[in-house]
Amino acid sequence: MDKRAHAMKVKINGEERNWKGKNNRRKGKKGEEAEKPDIPVTSWNEKAMAEQEAAASGAEKEDEFTWVLPEDDGEVFQDDPKVVAVKKVSSKSKHSPYFSTGKKVHLSAYPFKQYAITIVLAIVLGVSFGFLALNFMSDEDLPAALQTGAGQTEGVAAAPEKAGGDAGAGAAEQTIQLYFAQIGKFSSKEGADATAADLKAKGFPAAAVEEDGSYFVYGGVGNEKLEADGLSNVYKSSSIDTWSGKTADFSVKSNEDASAFIGHFKTLVTLSSSAVEGNSKEVKSKSEAVLSDLDKLKPKDEGLVSMKKGLTDVSALLAESADEKAGWAAQQQLMDLVVSLK
């Protein structure tokens, strides 16, 4: 009579397993990758050994499992309240430390005092270096143009003082502005001299004056343009073309006050032009008054002595005769005096 085979139940890792025979296999649950073979048991010792081997094989399979972590933190992982995500600090910066990051810098970072101090220091340094440079430089090192300009400025400044009649030594020069009846302008001295000689031969006054590389021939002088216009009209009546808009400045240099001599010179210029135009009513009387005043002047400067002599001759000529011929002769002497001052 066959013995009934009893099934043995074994718990491995808390799970019951039925052991039926040597060649039987236990069917596992659905979804498992492979079925595990049943362990035959003949004794309790073999049973214990089988359990140990099964546990060891399970541990090895668990140890061989490779855990693969996600490369980036997903939304589910970050939203998990149990997980504290660590923010990654990027070591690569897109901004260069040598260039601006584009952030606006408030003006409060640069107070107004810094700007003011910087400007004051710049002014102080500039003035200091300027004084040092002037101390090291001598008058010879300065450009000639600057020295000439300074001399002209001093002369112009001294002129008003003399014109006001301030007497005294040290008067450098005084400038006279005159209008001329210009006959022509030439590039060579020979041409100007030839024209002047031709005018004198016809009984007219003439003076050749060099100015700025050119040579001008003057046929008369006046204190104002109106006087020069009157002389030009007389020339035109003799078919001689003139221009009365020419002006020139002349300077009287002396160590004494020359205002009295300059005043008499201008008076005689007006009287001579009046005589040429035929207005000789008061020419003689005024010329005699000028002659009397010149006798009272006692200049010591050689230039003023020469000027006094020339003015005395002109005043004596007009006091004797006030016709057109005497007027042209007086004009010639006055222009010669002007050329000597040039």
CB atoms within 10 A of CB 312: 16
Phi, psi of 25 (to 5 degrees): -120, 140
What's the rounded mean pLDDT across residues 244-269? 88
What pLDDT is stored for residue 131 in this prediction? 76
* Distance in angstroms (rounded) separating the CA atoms of residues 216 and 218: 6
Q: Which domains does the chain have, with CATH numbers?
A: 179-341 (3.30.70.1070)
pLDDT band, residue 69 (cuts 50/70/90): low
What pLDDT is stored for residue 41 in this prediction? 52
Cβ contact 52:59 at 8 Å: no
Q: Which residues contact 173 (CB under 8 A, 6 or more apart)?
A: 155, 158, 159, 251, 252, 253, 254
What pLDDT is stored for residue 166 in this prediction? 45
Higher-pLDDT residue of 154 and 184 is 184
* Torsion from C-alpha of 256, 259, 264, 265, nearest 10 degrees: 90
What pLDDT is stored for residue 206 in this prediction? 94
pLDDT tens digits for range 97-112: 554 555 555 555 557 7
Burial of 215 (0-12, 13-18, 19+ CB in 10 A): buried
- The mean predicted confidence, pLDDT, of the chain is 74
What's the rounded mean pLDDT across residues 249-274? 89
What pLDDT is stored for residue 4 in this prediction? 55
pLDDT band, residue 40 (cuts 50/70/90): low
* Distance in angstroms (rounded) separating the CA atoms of residues 13 and 58: 10
pLDDT tens digits for range 143-177: 444 344 444 444 444 444 444 444 444 556 788 89
* Distance in angstroms (rounded) separating the CA atoms of residues 305 and 299: 6
Rounded to an integer, what is the distance from CA 44 to the centroid of its chain?
A: 113
Q: Which residues contact 96 (CB under 8 A, 6 or more apart)?
A: none
Higher-pLDDT residue of 224 and 37 is 224
- Which tokens go with 212? 């700025």
* Distance in angstroms (rounded) separating the CA atoms of residues 276 and 283: 11
Higher-pLDDT residue of 251 and 2 is 251
What pLDDT is stored for residue 102 in this prediction? 53
pLDDT at 246 over 50: yes
What pLDDT is stored for residue 212 in this prediction? 87
Weakest-pLDDT range from 8-22, 57-71, 154-168, 203-217: 154-168
What pLDDT is stored for residue 224 in this prediction? 93
